[in-house]
Amino acid sequence: MKKSSTAEARVRRVRDGHSAEAEDVVAVEEPLEIRVVESRAGHEHSHSVAVTMRTPGDDFALAAGFLFAEGVVRRPDDFWRIEYCVDPGQEQEYNVVSVVLRDKVPLELSRTLRSFYTTSSCGVCGKATLDAIKVREPPTLPNTRPRIAAKTLAAWPDALRAEQSVFARTGGLHAAAIFREDGTQVAHTEDVGRHNAVDKVIGGRFLEDEMPLHDCAMLVSGRASFEILQKALMAGIPFVAAIGAPSSLAVDTAKEFGMTLVGFLRGASFNVYAGPARIA
């Protein structure tokens, strides 16, 4: 049986100077190892590419979204299958996912951003990260689409919160959602890690072969970091909104690649850090 996204915890609740034992619900956080399997001369070779702390659920979408954003896979037919795997002699814990590549798909792990970080002679800096994205050849974004009405944008935080069933029980998860121009919510995901939530929501669309998402926008429940902008860009999403603050490199990334970036989205109040032309 696969892991639950929540767990029970015994707590002592203190209210107005009084305390009592009670049951609480917390979000589950467990490691997920992502492996890529390639075929060479009739033999399969497995490579561990990442370990992330995540909330169980949508693990295949998480793996697919991560590998797509990192440039390891470019389309759903690059791999045969995605599956849970277990090493010989170990019990299945659903904490290892393998993505099995097709025979002729090259495995170029050296092109991922994480490899660039560790090998770049100039160190980790803004220019290094932006140059790394250019090497990956992200999709060209449309100049004016999607065009989102301010009134439509203002309704998105409440729409996302209404879908956060696990957050409502635990108060401990980030969320990401994809919206269309008319405000229709296409997909949403939750995870203890905000980057994982983005990988899950993008990975779900990737597995449905819907890339690039030129007519869509993405909302994240926390802050907008460089990695979130990078993942959106690789998915062809021109518009990113965050309920929290953006980082300086997120702003630089949005401006460099012609994206719209909104921060501090609280109802009718928000800041536009880049690409105001896409807001009606």
Highest mean pLDDT among 37-51, 85-99, 138-152: 138-152
Q: What is the mean predicted confidence (pLDDT) over 195-223?
A: 95
CB 25 within 8 A of CB 9: yes
What percent of the chain has pLDDT above 90? 50
Catalytic residues: 122
Identify the pLDDT of residue 259: 96
Identify the pLDDT of residue 117: 42
pTM listed for this prediction: 0.85
State pLDDT tens for residues 122-151. Answer: 444 555 667 777 767 888 999 989 999 999
Domains in the chain: boundaries = 30-126, 140-278
Q: Average model confidence (pLDDT) for the chain?
A: 86
Q: Which fold has domain 140-278?
A: Cytidine Deaminase; domain 2 (3.40.140)
Q: What is the mean predicted confidence (pLDDT) over 264-272?
A: 92
Q: Which CATH class is domain 30-126?
A: alpha beta
